Each structure stands twice: as structure tokens, then as C-alpha cells.
Amino acid sequence: MSRIGKAIINVPSGVTVDVTKGNVVTVKGSKGTLVEPIDPDLSVSLEDGVLTVSRPTEQKRHKSAHGLYRALINNMVEGVSSGFKKQLELIGVGYRVSNTDNLLELTLGYSHPIYFEIPSELKLTTKMDKGEAPTIILEGADKQLLGQVCAKIRKYRKPEPYKGKGIKFTGEEIRRKAGKTSGKKK
């Protein structure tokens, strides 16, 4: 049996979970509302603040869907109660970032600035402190959307392995390569 799938989900106070006939799970909390359609073969039950996902058979398809949908529902519950946060750093000379509402402006060494519209479900803040790398901070309830937007921003200038320049997550380790050696061989 799936270890992830059979784990229970504790629903914190202030969070409501509704399961409709079409196996659509709706989770409401202080950070927002999230909706996810669930595989019709699986059953979701809520008893005494504990949410459980169960599968009908031991088929491979049911086993894989069991763990997947349990993880998705857990992320929804965690997202609407406490939310998710990701930070991106811009490493490189002349790299700058600014925002007006949800429009992100990136200067990444290209001949033009890059404008990126952040979805309204996410909260965007930028920091440009002296002596520190420019930082993009994204917060939201939907973990999938947050990760997808971060990946799109990071794609504009991925960190390169020689000097480490580019957009990276805060705390991410970039594997560095040795450059060319100079001088004559003896």
C-alpha cells in the first residue's frame, strides 16, 4: 500500500473541506480557495477534522493515483492555511529587478528589459538592498502555480556553472566547474 496515500491529512481550524458528487474537492481557508478534481475511482472522506483518501483496488493505476491525490489535497490544505513562499536571487553584475503591482521588470544583461505578468493569485515583492543580490519574493496558496511561475522566471537566465551568474532560488547550491587553465605546460 502507498505510504504517502494512506497517511492522514489533519485539517486545521479555520479550514473547510467540501467533497462534491463529481469527486471535486474544494478547500477554503484564510489564504483563499482551491479546487481540485479527483480521480472518480478514489474516495475522499472527512471525519473529525481528519481527511483520508482510499482506493478501491490494488491496481497499479489506483496505487499511483492514491498517493498523487493525497499529496495534492495535502498541499491544498497547507496552502490555504499557511501558504507557500519562494525566493529567487539575481546573481550578476547589472542585474536588476522591480515591480509595479503584479508586473515584474527584469534587467538581465540583454539589450532590452523583460516584463513578466505575475498571476493575480500570487503576491509579488522585490528587494534591491545595497550589498545584497536583488531578490524576487513570491507568495501564494497554490503550490503548483507558484512553482510554475518561479520556473518561468528562472528560465530567462538560468545559473551558469562557471561564474554562477543567473537567477537561482535562495539557498540553492550551483555546481561550479573549473575554467580553462592558463600558462604553458612543462
pLDDT tens digit sequence for 132-177: 999 999 999 999 999 999 999 999 999 999 998 999 999 989 899 8
Tell me how crowded residue 91 is: count the other CB atoms within 10 A of its CB. Answer: 17
Chain mean pLDDT for the chain: 91
Integer Cα distance of 160 and 116 in angstroms: 22
Q: Are residues 69 and 94 in the same domain?
A: no
Give the domain range for residue 158. 84-169
pLDDT digits (tens, 9 = 90+) for 103-130: 999 999 999 999 999 999 999 999 999 9
Tell me how crowded residue 104 is: count the other CB atoms within 10 A of its CB. Answer: 20
Q: Are residues 68 and 30 in the same domain?
A: yes
The CATH number assigned to the domain holding 148 equals: 3.90.930.12
State the Cα torsion 21-22-24-26 to the nearest 10°.
-40
- Is position 132 within any domain? yes
- The separation between CA 28 and the C-alpha centre of its own chain, rounded to angstroms, equals 19
- Is position 136 within any domain? yes
Q: Are residues 89 and 29 in the same domain?
A: no
- The separation between CA 170 and the C-alpha centre of its own chain, rounded to angstroms, equals 13
